[in-house]
Structure 1
Amino acid sequence: MKFLLSVCCCLFSAVAFTQPGINEMQQAQQDLSSSFFSAFDCCMVLACLFGLLGGLRIYHNWQMGKDRIDSAVAAWFFASFFMILSGPFLRALFGI
């Protein structure tokens, strides 16, 4: 029984040494935060492009005399709105 208990203690201590340290966790958080801000900027650029392209397409359709542009307005607006909200959502999700 003592032998089994000592083997279990040795195995638990070996598992404890294999866990990553605080330095590695801080490095991972720093790497994530540095790459996240470029992803956040990418979300803002995509939202701007969706807004501009959507506005141009809607203007073109309106000038061509198409009556039903309401669905196109909503689609382009919500595509841009989704990209704007995805940045803060990811920031809250990852705790950055």
Structure 2
Amino acid sequence: MDVGVLKTELFFETDESMVFTVIDGGSLTKDGYSERVEITIAEVRAQVYMIAWKEISGATVTHVEDHKKGIIYSNATLPDGSFYTMKGTISPVQD
């Protein structure tokens, strides 16, 4: 996932669990931070999903991931109350 100010790798373990790893945190968080979170996934239509979770810090995140077009919309509210609306790209990681 690359939304300009933040680049992360999202690893979906199950339909209820994901690990995110920060590749480039920009000014939002530190590089290399990783956390396992419980997620809720809703399929909007084929290859489009809304995914939401709450982090240990109290931050809440909601994504709309369009895997067909490779576009991600991300909204995050941080514990200090700041709100970020981001748009970027999403693509599968190649092994």
TM-score class, shorter-chain normalisation, is under 0.3
After TM superposition, the score normalised by the length of structure 2 is 0.17
Higher relative contact order (CA 8 A, sep 6+): 1
Which is higher, the Rg of structure 1 or of structure 2? 1
After TM superposition, the score normalised by the length of structure 1 is 0.17
Structure with the higher fraction of residues in helix conformation: 1
Structure with the higher fraction of residues in strand conformation: 2
